[in-house]
Amino acid sequence: EIVMTQSPSTLSVSPGERATLSCRASQSVSNNLAWYQQKPGQAPRLLIYGASTRATGIPARFSGSGSGTGFTLTISSLQSEDFAVYSCQQYNDWPQTFGQGTKVEIK
Amino acid sequence: DVQLVESGGGLVKPGGSLRVSCAASGFTFSPYVMNWVRQAPGQGLEWVASISGSSTYIYYADSVKGRFTISRDNAKNSLYLQMNSLRAEDTALYYCARESELAGLFDFWGQGTPVTVSS
């Protein structure tokens, strides 16, 4: 199965700053890559699919890029509600697999 | 609004059984592929099982095959996961997730129900 590796494990960022998260696949997943946001006690939320398409209702400060094996999620100006865990997922091959997550915390 | 609400989690001894449920609302349940995804403490998300709208197609992760059974009742807008022969490594938060029109992409999730396997 395809292994998804995220870096860094933890990212400390000040409110208003940019956050850049990385996700790497062990083999090409084309652009079949999604990003999810997780907060304690809440349902995971789909942010990005197709590597760069924002899901319905997702603010424009979230953007995704990349294809093949390397992907990036950028949050252009962190708001208080954006401090959370972000996970990438490939859905190109079965079984779909997830990265271990990047925690974005307040600096 | 789409809502998925899991229930039935709890503490169970190794070798025991448990059934978790997911109640769906806010959308037409029957056409959608539904999934269970779990997250062990401090770990990433792991897909567990999926079931097609008519229950014709069912798939499992190797880690649970032969021990877990996914099912659904479209008349009750409900999804189930029967877990048998539970092991400590099955301890996790179990999420119900709706699959979008793109196979393998999960567009809505529940908040999860915790399952702890411990003696």
Instruction: Write out pLDDT tens, residues B6-54.
Output: 999 999 999 999 999 999 999 999 999 999 999 999 999 999 999 999 9
Tokens of B33: 């592929």
pLDDT of residue A16: 95
How many CB atoms are closer than 10 A to CB A77?
12
Q: How far apart are the C-alpha atoms of A52 and B74, rounded to whole Å?
A: 34
Percent of chain B exceeding pLDDT 70 equals 100
Q: How far apart are the C-alpha atoms of B89 and B102, rounded to whole Å?
A: 30
Which of A32, A56, A96, A102 to mutate against chain B (most B CBs within 10 Å)? A96
Q: How far apart are the C-alpha atoms of A48 and A88, rounded to whole Å?
A: 9
pLDDT of residue B26: 97
For tokens 């084309």, the residue is A30
Indicate yes or no: CB of B106 within 8 angstroms of CB of A43.
no
Q: Is-cis flag, bond preceding B14, omega within 30?
A: no
What's the farthest any 2 CA atoms get from each other in chain B?
A: 41
DSSP class of A5:
E
Tokens of B117: 């396997």
Name the minimum distance, in Å, from the CA of A91 to any CA of chain B: 5
pLDDT of residue B75: 98
* Residue in B58, B45, B35 with CA at minimum distance from that of residue B106: B35
Indicate yes or no: CB of B45 within 8 angstroms of CB of A55.
no
pLDDT one-digit tens code per residue, A9-67: 999 999 999 999 999 999 999 999 999 999 988 999 999 999 999 999 999 999 999 99
User: Any chain A CB within 8 A of the CB of B3?
Assistant: no
Indicate yes or no: CB of A55 within 8 angstroms of CB of B107.
yes
pLDDT of residue A24: 98
* Residue in B83, B84, B112 with CA at minimum distance from that of residue B96: B112
pLDDT of residue B60: 98
pLDDT one-digit tens code per residue, A78-89: 999 999 999 999
* Residue in B92, B81, B89 with CA at minimum distance from that of residue B20: B81
Confidence of residue A96 (pLDDT cuts 50, 70, 90): very high
Q: How far apart are the C-alpha atoms of A77 and A93, rounded to whole Å?
A: 33
Give the number of residues written for chain B.
Answer: 119
pLDDT of residue A93: 96
Name the minimum distance, in Å, from the CA of B16 to any CA of chain A: 26
pLDDT one-digit tens code per residue, B47-79: 999 999 999 999 999 999 999 999 999 999 999
